[in-house]
Amino acid sequence: MRGLIAGALGLMLVGTTGAPVMAQTPKKVNVAHRGASGYAPEHTLAAYRLAIEQGADFVEQDLAVTKDGVLVCLHDASLERTTDVETKFPTRFSEIKIEGRTRKAWLANDFTLAEIKTLDAGSWFDPKFAGERVPTFDEAVALIRGKAGLYPELKTPEIYEGRNVDFVALVEAALDRLKLRGPAADPKTPVILQTFGESTARALAARKIGVPVVFLFDVRGPFDAAAMVASWKGVITGFGPAKQVLTRAPEFVKLAHAAGMTVTPYTFRAAATPSYANVTAEMEHFLYTLGVDALFTDNPDKFPRR
Positions that interact with ligand G3P (CB under 6 A):
33, 62, 75, 153, 194, 216, 240, 266-267, 296
Rank residues 167 and 296 by Cβ distance to ligand G3P and give the closer one. Answer: 296
Closest distance between ligand G3P and the C-beta of residue 1, in Å? 32
Rank residues 89 and 266 by Cβ distance to ligand G3P and give the closer one. Answer: 266
Given ligand G3P, Ca ion, none, residue 210, with its beta carbon under 5 to 8 Å by kind, binds none
Closest distance between ligand G3P and the C-beta of residue 87, in Å? 25
Rank residues 115 and 150 by Cβ distance to ligand G3P and give the closer one. Answer: 150
Strand partners, 96: 103
Given ligand G3P, Ca ion, none, residue 25, with its beta carbon under 5 to 8 Å by kind, binds none
Closest distance between ligand G3P and the C-beta of residue 64, in Å? 12
Closest distance between Ca ion and the C-beta of residue 215, in Å? 12
Given Ca ion, ligand G3P, none, residue 303, with its beta carbon under 5 to 8 Å by kind, binds none
Look up residue 135 and give its DSSP letter.
Answer: P
Closest distance between Ca ion and the C-beta of residue 33, in Å? 7
Given ligand G3P, Ca ion, none, residue 213, with its beta carbon under 5 to 8 Å by kind, binds none
Question: How far is Cα 32 from Cα 134, in angstroms, rounded to an integer?
Answer: 17
How distant, in Å, are the alpha carbons of 11, 61, 96, 243, 264 from that of 36? 27, 11, 30, 19, 17
Rank residues 15 and 223 by Cβ distance to ligand G3P and give the closer one. Answer: 223
Could you list the residues that contact Ca ion (CB under 5 A)? Answer: 62, 153
Q: Determine the residue type at 99.
A: E
| H helical segments located in the chain | 45-53, 85-88, 113-116, 137-144, 157-161, 167-177, 198-206, 225-232, 243-248, 251-258, 279-284
Of 205, 272, 222, 202, residue with least CA distance to 243: 272
How distant, in Å, are the alpha carbons of 198, 222, 256, 297 from that of 249? 21, 11, 12, 21
Contact 168, 204 (CB under 8 A): yes
Rank residues 132 and 153 by Cβ distance to Ca ion and give the closer one. Answer: 153
Beta strand ranges found along the chain (DSSP E): 3-7, 10-14, 20-22, 29-32, 58-65, 71-73, 94-98, 101-105, 149-154, 193-195, 213-217, 238-241, 262-263, 294-297
Annotated catalytic residues are 33, 75
| Angle, helices 198-206/167-177, rounded to nearest 10 degrees | 50
Given ligand G3P, Ca ion, none, residue 257, with its beta carbon under 5 to 8 Å by kind, binds none
For residue 81, give the 3-state DSSP assignment.
coil
